[in-house]
């Protein structure tokens, strides 16, 4: 329980919306699963609790602290370096479905913006495309960041593995407890003002 966050009670029905970081037996980050799946792994004796979240499942028959991080008892061989397909969906996942200019969230209305516009020779590559909401995309138009007077929330990079992509897609669930187990180097950090488990 590293974080000083107020304890909250949740119903068993909302367990799927809470995410848990799964570590390999070697303590390397492996996956992200729902709180429900994590509790099943704990009860089955296949994993152990590493960090608790400040959330407690509460019903007349059960009161259980939801983990934030669990560790598998068995080592899973994981190649970890799959090439991530360059698709709109994966760009949105990388950016946590968040407009990289204003921070607005939402999968459906998000567009892809070229940081250096194509008309100025900007390429369609991981390092030059970001998720942008429609108003920001229109505001930026065919201008550079300086010309548009806009800034990026974070520098776009190529996701190094499917795992990192899934971490980034769940960045709204990112917690300080997770960050202890995730290597630096992907610009990964808890989104400011929205740290949660």
Which residue of 102, 116, 148, 152 would you call a contact of Zn ion, by CB under 5 A? 102
Minimum distance, C-beta of residue 152 to Zn ion, in the bound complex (Å): 11
Opening angle at CA 61, ends 60 and 67, nearest 5: 105
Binding to Zn ion (CB under 5 A): which residues in 116-135? 133
> Among residues 72 and 102, whose Cβ is nearest to Zn ion?
102
Residue with smaller CB distance to Zn ion, 97 or 163: 97
For Zn ion, the closer CB: 83 or 145: 145
Taking alpha carbons only, the member of 162, 173, 194, 157 closest to residue 84 is 162
Concatenating the DSSP letter of every residue in 72-96 gives: ESS-------PPPP--HHHHHHHTT
Give the closest residue to 31 by CA, choosing from 96, 80, 81. Answer: 80
- Residue 122 contacts residue 172 (beta carbons within 8 Å): no
Residue 115 binds to Zn ion (criterion: CB under 5 A): no
Considering the complex, state which of residue 23 and residue 110 has its C-beta at the smaller distance from Zn ion: 110
Residues 40-99 that bind Zn ion (CB under 5 A): 99
């Amino acid at each position: 329980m590293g974080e000083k966050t107020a304890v909250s009670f949740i119903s068993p029905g909302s367990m799927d919306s809470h995410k848990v970081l799964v570590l390999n037996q070697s303590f390397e980050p492996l996956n992200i699963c729902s709180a429900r799946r994590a509790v099943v792994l704990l009860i089955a004796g296949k994993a152990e609790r590493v960090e608790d979240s400040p959330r407690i499942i509460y019903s007349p028959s059960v009161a259980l602290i939801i983990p934030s991080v669990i560790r598998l008892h068995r080592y899973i061989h994981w190649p970890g370096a799959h090439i991530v397909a360059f698709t709109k969906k994966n760009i949105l996942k990388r950016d946590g479905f968040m407009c990289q200019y204003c921070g607005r969230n939402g999968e459906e209305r998000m567009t892809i913006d070229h940081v250096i516009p194509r008309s100025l020779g900007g390429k369609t590559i991981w390092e030059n495309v970001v998720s942008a909401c429609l108003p920001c995309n229109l505001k930026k138009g065919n201008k550079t960041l300086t010309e548009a007077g806009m800034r990026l929330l974070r520098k776009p990079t190529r996701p190094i593995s499917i795992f990192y992509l899934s971490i980034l897609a769940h960045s709204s669930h990112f917690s300080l407890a997770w960050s202890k187990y995730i290597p630096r180097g992907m610009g990964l950090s808890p989104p400011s003002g929205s740290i949660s488990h």
